[in-house]
């Protein structure tokens, strides 16, 4: 994560953030929004973008921010975590 980019708490408050990701052979700044996913065990926030980026870049972003990332090709979670681990983040919204 670069200096000046939003932390997880700032993203959850503002409901949107812009991050620099590697896309199509170059670095681009992509806007992500906070989307609420409802599952049987509860609702939790994910960062969402309609832009297609590599799944490895989405995984890197999820790991750095410790929040799930959803892109058109799939959803990634930080290592060792599932949606249940992020249900408590809803209280911060």
Domains of the chain, by residue range, sit at 8-92
pLDDT average per 10 residues of sequence, the chain (93 residues): 74 90 89 94 94 93 94 95 89 69
Q: How far is CA 63 from CA 32, 40, 41, 80, in A?
A: 15, 24, 22, 10
According to the model, what pLDDT value does residue 7 have?
Answer: 83
Instruction: Tell me the whole-structure pTM to 2 decimals.
Output: 0.87
Residue 39: C-alpha distances to residues 4, 36, 75, 79, 92 (Å)? 33, 10, 14, 20, 18
pLDDT of residue 10: 86
């Amino acid at each position: 994560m670069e200096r000046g980019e939003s932390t997880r708490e700032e993203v959850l408050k503002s409901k949107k953030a812009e991050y620099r990701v590697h896309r199509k052979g170059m670095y681009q700044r992509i806007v992500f929004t906070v989307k609420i996913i409802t599952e049987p065990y509860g609702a939790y926030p994910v960062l969402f973008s309609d832009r297609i980026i590599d799944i490895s870049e989405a995984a890197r972003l999820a790991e750095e921010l410790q929040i799930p990332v959803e892109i058109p090709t799939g959803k990634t979670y930080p290592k060792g975590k599932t949606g249940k681990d992020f249900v408590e983040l809803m209280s911060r919204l």
